[in-house]
Amino acid sequence: MLLTDSFLDYLRYERNYSEETVKAYGEDLRQFVEFGEENVGMMTPQKVDAELIREWVVSLMDRHCASSSINRKLSSLRSFFRFLLKKGVVEADPSRKVMGPKKKKALPVFLKESEMNRLLDDVDFGAGFEGCRDHLIIEMFYSTGMRLSELIGLDEGDVDFSASLIKVTGKRNKQRLIPFGEELKEAMADYIRVRNEAVPNRSDEAFFVRKTGERLYRAIVERIVKRNLSKVTTVKKRSPHVLRHTFATAMLNNDAELGAIKELLGHESLATTEIYTHTTFEELKKVYNQAHPRA
């Protein structure tokens, strides 16, 4: 395309872009010119319209280019046309009419219910206070979907055994109540008994503590979760947030309403919770593709 060299010199000498960046712009434009010549013949700026740019974007998507790469190439083309407008070579910028592909949101990582059952029912966490505490931490995340900061901040008075409710303080100090069942109630009662015997002198009202009696901090809980999830899963991400995702996915798979899951997780918007519907749908597709004879 005419004037591409002038554009690259403009980036190089007037905008002071690095040589590596200039080369990237040049390669993006070269690819577009190559595509254009295959479709409309000899390329000039005046021959480029929005339809041609859209066809180029579609061709890149068909070649499974990442959304981020396509949007970067489109950005290079837009910069080029802004340069042409400034020079008076073209009267309009056709690239402004073309939207790049939306970046796909990464789906939440979660464990299967069978993996969680194996971890909570079959894995040996060790005897004594720390084994009891670590087991309860995993069970608490999985049974309530609470955030790491909420678990660390949990106080003794936040657990109401008679009403089977836990009060947590979430983002922006918003408080919510999370119900719990008999299994978690028994596990918490066992932990409190073991903790009070092993750590008689606690520094405050923290529910989860270290052997010194002090409240747990993030790094300790993250290590506990990572170490124990490694016993039952090969997923790369093994964090407390994975257990939060696992809770939400399990709830959805067992017919809980999305609005109820939103309230339990403390999400501001239902749109945030809806990501779990995509997760379960992707899992269904995977199962279908593996199991259906004509998939």
Structural domain including 57 reads: 4-97
Count of the separate structural domains present in the chain: 2
Query: Is residue 163 located within the same domain as residue 39?
Result: no
Residue 182 domain-assigned (yes or no): yes
Are both 178 and 264 inside the same structural domain? yes
Residue 175 lies in a domain: yes
| Residue 82 belongs to some domain of the structure | yes
In a domain, residue 259? The reply is yes
Domain C-terminal end among 97, 128, 162: 97
pLDDT at site 294:
47
Half-sphere exposure of 146 (CA within 13 A, CB side): 27
| pLDDT given at position 291 | 53
In a domain, 102, yes or no: no
Residue 166, H or E segment:
strand 165-169
134 shares a domain with 46: no
- Residue 108 inside a domain? The answer is no
CA distance 241 to 60: 34
Please give the Cα distance from 55 to 256 (Å, whole number): 43
Kindly compute the dihedral angle of the four CA atoms of residues 3, 9, 12, 14, in this order, to the nearest 10 degrees: -100
User: Are 83 and 119 in the same domain?
Assistant: no
Intervals of the chain under pLDDT 50? 284, 287-288, 292, 294-295
Say what the pLDDT of residue 283 is. Answer: 58
Task: Say what the pTM is.
Answer: 0.64
Q: Are residues 79 and 207 in the same domain?
A: no
pLDDT of 295 reads 36
35 residue type, one letter: F
In terms of domains, do 92 and 117 share one? no
Residues 173, 244 share a domain: yes
- Domain at 222, CATH number: 1.10.443.10
Is 132 found in the same domain as 69?
A: no
Active site residues: 147, 171, 241, 244, 267, 276
Same domain membership, residue 127 and residue 9: no
pLDDT of amino acid 2: 62
Domain harbouring 86, CATH code = 1.10.150.130
Query: Please, what is the end-to-end C-alpha distance for the chain in angstroms?
Result: 46
* 8 Å CB contact between 96 and 78: yes
Dig out the tokens for 136 from the structure: 């309860």
Among 111, 150, 137, which residue's Cα sits nearest to residue 253? 111
Tell me whether residue 60 is in a domain.
Answer: yes
Asked if residue 92 and residue 166 are part of one domain, the reply reads no
Helices (H), the chain: 4-9, 19-40, 50-62, 67-87, 113-121, 128-144, 148-152, 182-198, 218-229, 240-253, 258-265, 270-273, 275-291
Judge if 27 and 147 occupy the same domain.
Answer: no
